[in-house]
Amino acid sequence: MDKIFLTSLSAEAVIGIFDWEREVRQRIEIDLEMSLDLTAAANSDSIDDTLNYKSVAKRVLAFVEASEFQLVEALAGRIAGLILAEFAVSKVRVTVHKPGAIRHSRDVGVIIERSRDA
């Protein structure tokens, strides 16, 4: 299966379980890997035959910036569901990074994989 990926989409969101986290916006970074058949696009060289990753990025960023989740797990799961529901992909891997969330660690996050078949 072919893949299209986006790395380090950056957004500001309300996310966290502590009271202070519910009052501020924190930086979230998202990596996406989307599986689909790219044969037609490779042959035609036409945007109409592929996944427009700019559209995916805009939709995901708008969703994240409007969200107010407590857990990065919930955010990642909803992003995966949104992509499967709104775009023609068979499988998606979503990585949500919450940099600086843990002292003495550069990054923390989750990776969720979902498929249309599941």
In the annotation, is 98 catalytic? Answer: yes
Spatial separation of the C-alpha atoms in residues 18 and 15, rounded to whole Å: 9
User: Among residues 39, 37, 9, 34, which one has the least CA distance to residue 109?
Assistant: 9
Catalytic site positions: 98
